[in-house]
Amino acid sequence: MNTDTLSPYILTLVTFVPLAGALLLTVLPRRDRDIRVIAFLVSLITFGLSLHLPVYFHRVIGGFQFEIDKSWISSPNIHYHMAIDGISMWLVVLTTFLTPLCVLISWKTVHDRVKEFFILLLILETALIGVFTSLDLFLFYFFWEATLIPMALLIGVFGHERKVYAAVKFFMYTMIASVFMLAGILWLYAHTGSFDFVVIRDLISRGQVSNFPAAAQWLFLGFFIAFAVKVPLFPFHTWLPDAHVEAPTAGSVLLAGVLLKMGTYGMLRFNLGLFPEQSRSNASWIMALALIGIIYGALVAMVQPNMKKLIAYSSVSHLGFVVLGIFSFTQSGLNGAMFVMLAHGISTGGLFMLAGILHERRHTYEISEFGGLATPMPVYATSYLFIVLASVGLPLLNGFVGEFLVLNGAFQAKPIYGILGATGVIWSACYLLWMFQRVFYGKVTHPINNGLADMLGFEKAAVWPCAIAAMVMGVAPILWLAAIDPAVQATLNALPQMVSKVVGQ
């Protein structure tokens, strides 16, 4: 059988196989080992299925592919409409790539309520994939909200000391923000009679939505605030360090690796797609916030005594690059934003796994508790350095490509944006390398650290795929950009006059 016959159903499969796996786990007896194995197999099968997408993806087409559109509820007019383009495809693959690694890294670190843990993890995977594949605004909102509950439970049940506080803060922040998006979606439905992204976009671009000019700015802000909190854009970022520090390792990996990208993906797809003019008129202050995020995130990261908090603030800084790239409205900036999203997912996911490995051994994230770890843990130190360099943006590793493209785009938009943004690259080298030096170099400062075991098999299996992916992405970015570029081009084509205006400023 030609696997291409799968194409109409592949998105449904990729999205719901993890959920089916979760349901299977609910009926299984509580034998922890079996549960782990099955969770791993399910996530691996999902990854395998998701590889169907890049294999059969037509790279020259900028539009949506693998489309499935079925009427689901007639009133309101909700469709089961899923499709992907070059932008969302890689985010789906990123999700399916990270999930098996999350299962591996949790293999021995989760002892209590193992069954619940993996059920939540798989439900979370379904919700995350659904966010990227849905083209019906209602479906999108459903998956968007559906990510909240498993994530909040992962933090609140399996987290560290202040887990409840962090979980509730995470839930309330993102829930309240997305209510504004819901209001926007309802407004659009009330005035267009459709939830379909493509239909609404076309109606708006043809000016056939009544009262739209008066409401557009508010709608833009309603969507934007939901996404900005998720990114998180300065000054909406305060939930992130708490959530990360308290989350279990797998939760942090998916939170930083994929969940934050929901925000930037939303900006790219919905803010730019539905409200091109408002995106342009609001671009200046959004870019300013992005720049503040880049620099502020980096400066705060530098002074963190807690390794996980440091990585969390580095996410604020890196995601600032993504927003900067998106609102530069240049081909290069958008390509770069997409690439930073993927690269950050891989490298920060890796960093969180590495931090988790250390926590598993010492039950602390305090940098001052470590020092000279390179001696007892050479393999660990090498892996760590590799991922740190990828995150810093060393050429030939994945961080470099994205940041370069973003800065290039930002510079085209306005030189000062490029110049200020470029300082972020320097900062990131400062805080990450300084942290690395304090943790790994010199003499072993605490005798207890002498006896630390080096990486175990399952830990290597979790971290090394990230390292390999970081290198492949750095050496051959074209493999990814070939699909991203047409999709970005299509997004930009919808706003042709804008590019020239921004660039011409």
Partner 1 sequence: MMPLAQIQAIPQGADYIRILPELVLSIFGIVIMVLDPLVDEEKSQKTLGLIGFIGTLAGLASTWYMARQPWGLAFSKTIRVDGFSIFFNYLVIAIAAVVILSSFEYMAVQKIRAGEYYALILFSAVGMTLMSSAIELVLIFIGLEISSISTYILAGFRRNEASSAESSLKYFLLGSFATAFFLYGVALMFGATGSTNIDIISQRLQSSPAEMLVYTSMALMFVGLGFKVAAAPFHVWTPDVYEGAPAPVVGFMSTAPKAAAFAVLLRVVFSINVPGRFWFLWVAAALSMTLGNVGALVQNNVKRLLAYSSIAHAGYLLVAFAMTTPDTSLNGISAAMFYTAAYAAMNVGAFAVVSHLANAGERYVNLEDYEGLGRSSPLLAATLTVFLLSLIGIPMTGGFFAKFYVFSAALRANLIWLTIIGVLNSAVGAYYYLRIIVVMYMRESRKEVPVGPVSLGLALALAITFVATLYLGILPNRVLQVAQHSAHDLLPAASGAAGVAQNPRPTGNTN
Site for partner 1, rule CB under 8 A: 73-76, 113, 116, 138, 141-142, 145-146, 149, 153, 156-157, 163-164, 167-168, 171-172, 175-176, 179-180, 182-183, 186-187, 189-190
The answer to whether the peptide bond before residue 76 is cis (omega within 30 degrees of 0) is yes
Q: What is the CB-side half-sphere exposure of residue 308 using CA atoms within 13 A?
A: 29
Other C-beta atoms lying within 10 Å of the C-beta of residue 471? 15
Question: Min. distance of Cβ 164 from partner 1 in angstroms?
Answer: 5
Residue whose CB is less far from partner 1, 165 or 458: 165
Residue whose CB is less far from partner 1, 113 or 359: 113
Question: Min. distance of Cβ 66 from partner 1 in angstroms?
Answer: 23
CA pair distance 144, 129, nearest whole angstrom = 10
Residue whose CB is less far from partner 1, 90 or 171: 171
371: region left, alpha or beta (phi > 0 left; psi from -120 to 50 alpha): left
Question: Min. distance of Cβ 146 from partner 1 in angstroms?
Answer: 7
Q: What is the CB-side half-sphere exposure of residue 149 using CA atoms within 13 A?
A: 11
Residue whose CB is less far from partner 1, 170 or 404: 170
Other C-beta atoms lying within 10 Å of the C-beta of residue 59? 14
Question: Min. distance of Cβ 176 from partner 1 in angstroms?
Answer: 5
Question: Min. distance of Cβ 72 from partner 1 in angstroms?
Answer: 9
Which residue, 268, 247, 259, is CA-closest to 484? 268
What residues are paired with 306 via a beta bridge? 366
Residue whose CB is less far from partner 1, 116 or 242: 116
Please report the DSSP string for 41-94 in residue order: HHHHHHHHHHTHHHHH--TT--S-EEEEEEEEETTTTEEEEEEE-HHHHHHHHH
Question: Min. distance of Cβ 239 from partner 1 in angstroms?
Answer: 15
Residue whose CB is less far from partner 1, 136 or 485: 136
Using DSSP's 3-state secondary structure scheme, residue 383 falls into helix
Where are the strands (E) in 270-415, listed by range? none
CA pair distance 115, 22, nearest whole angstrom = 9
**How open is the CA angle 32-36-41, to the nearest 5 degrees?**
150
3-state helix, strand, coil in the chain (%, to 5): 75, 5, 20
Question: Min. distance of Cβ 142 from partner 1 in angstroms?
Answer: 4
Q: Does residue 395 contact residue 402 with C-beta atoms inside 8 Å?
A: no
Residue whose CB is less far from partner 1, 92 or 123: 123
Question: Min. distance of Cβ 255 from partner 1 in angstroms?
Answer: 17
Question: Min. distance of Cβ 78 from partner 1 in angstroms?
Answer: 9
